[in-house]
Amino acid sequence: MSALDIQELSCSYQKTLVLDGLNLTLNDNEIVCLLGESGCGKTTLLRAVAGLQSELTGKISIRQKVMNDIDINVAPEKRKIGLIFQDYALFPHLNVFDNVAFSLTSKLSQQQKQQRVEEMLALVQLNEMSERYPHQLSGGQQQRIAIARALAYQPELMLLDEPFSNLDQHVRFQLIHEIRLLLKQKKMSALFVTHSKEEGFAFADRIALMQAGKIVQIDDAQTLYRKPNSMYVANFMGQANYIDVTVLDESTYQSCFGVLTSKHQSNHKKGQKQRLLLRPEHIDIKHDQRGDAVVEQVDFQGASQQIKVRFAAQEFVIKYSNHCYDSVLFKIGDKVTLTLLEHGFVMFD
């Protein structure tokens, strides 16, 4: 059973189309990340699922219960959704226990509430801080309380709107892994919005990349990076180089690197022009006084060097891994030779 099903969802704001016939299915116990540039519709989609967005067309169902349709609009408080925001939204005048208990229905007895809150605080490893107030907690601890409050409600779907952006990097990724584990333990499905692809890589099972109100590709992180379906996706998911190639036959291509051979046959016609994607790690670099490529910029990044090289009248960005003891350092002006490493070819018209 799908946790969330969205069909042909559209939304306009001041005559501007924000969501454009969007479709998305979230599977049971799955975390999906909405990723994309500012203004692409990520937060609007989250608000629509939560019931906080007006003037929608299309259909939204949560666990096969229709929430939005032509003549249906279920109120937010009746959708059984847990919300976690960027600013945590904790009540400063309530202690940790009361913040977590705030989401609980009045139908529960005081004993049941006590048991539920204690269980949630133990889950986020903050059961000894129930009497503290939000200002007495670190950012990571405040976010754990927000998570505990959302889980205490026992929602059918969790929505997270950039919940980690206010945390420093070390705390952020530690918390990302902890919350992912919690959601998996609770068999909870979640829709997660972020601007950071690194957060999406670490937190989500699948990533839905959005552009202009549509999902242009949804896949696991490795597939999006290695097999993007467009140059937009390729550029968004990481540093990209491109070279023009001419098709010689089903598996060979003429390029500035010479004749390239692919392991997989394509249906491109002989003589057709294509653009081949080369990630920085697809290119090997070696010092060579007779080389026909020149180093233009070097950024030392600890475990690697990011090197910009001029070759065949264009610029290439290359990632060179630094080995523990025999690391080769490059400097501006070095002559080098570039070689393409074996990899799966991805081409665009």
Do 83 and 19 lie in a common domain? yes
The residue out of 187, 207, 235 marking a domain boundary is: 235
Do 322 and 185 lie in a common domain? no
Do 259 and 128 lie in a common domain? no
Residue 315: C-alpha distances to residues 48, 70, 87, 238 (Å): 43, 53, 41, 16
| Site of tokens 């989401």 | 103
Do 143 and 254 lie in a common domain? no
pLDDT truncated to tens, each residue of the chain (349 aa)?
799 999 999 999 888 899 999 999 999 999 999 999 998 999 999 999 999 998 899 999 999 999 999 989 999 989 999 888 777 778 899 999 999 988 787 778 888 888 989 888 888 888 888 899 999 998 888 888 888 888 888 888 999 998 887 777 777 888 889 889 888 988 999 999 998 999 999 999 999 999 999 999 999 999 999 999 999 999 999 999 999 999 999 899 999 999 999 988 888 889 999 999 999 999 999 999 999 999 999 999 988 999 999 999 999 999 999 886 667 889 999 999 999 999 999 999 8
CATH classification at residue 8: 3.40.50.300
Do 181 and 68 lie in a common domain? yes
Do 197 and 123 lie in a common domain? yes
Do 281 and 150 lie in a common domain? no
Ramachandran bin of 291, using left for φ above 0, alpha for ψ from -120 to 50, beta for the remaining angles = beta
Do 91 and 9 lie in a common domain? yes
Do 224 and 246 lie in a common domain? no
For the beta sheet containing 304-311, the strands, ordered from the edge strand earlier in sequence to the opposite edge, are 283-287, 335-340, 293-300, 304-311, 314-321
CATH classification at residue 284: 2.40.50.140
The residue out of 235, 263, 294 marking a domain boundary is: 235
Do 73 and 176 lie in a common domain? yes
Do 176 and 110 lie in a common domain? yes
Residue 241 in contact with residue 281, Cβ under 8 Å? Answer: no
Structural domain for 311, as ranges? 239-348
Do 221 and 268 lie in a common domain? no
The residue out of 200, 235, 270 marking a domain boundary is: 235
User: Which two tokens mark 168?
Assistant: 């420093």
pTM above 0.75, yes or no: yes
Cα of first residue to Cα of last residue in the chain, in angstroms, is 38
The number of domains in the chain is: 2
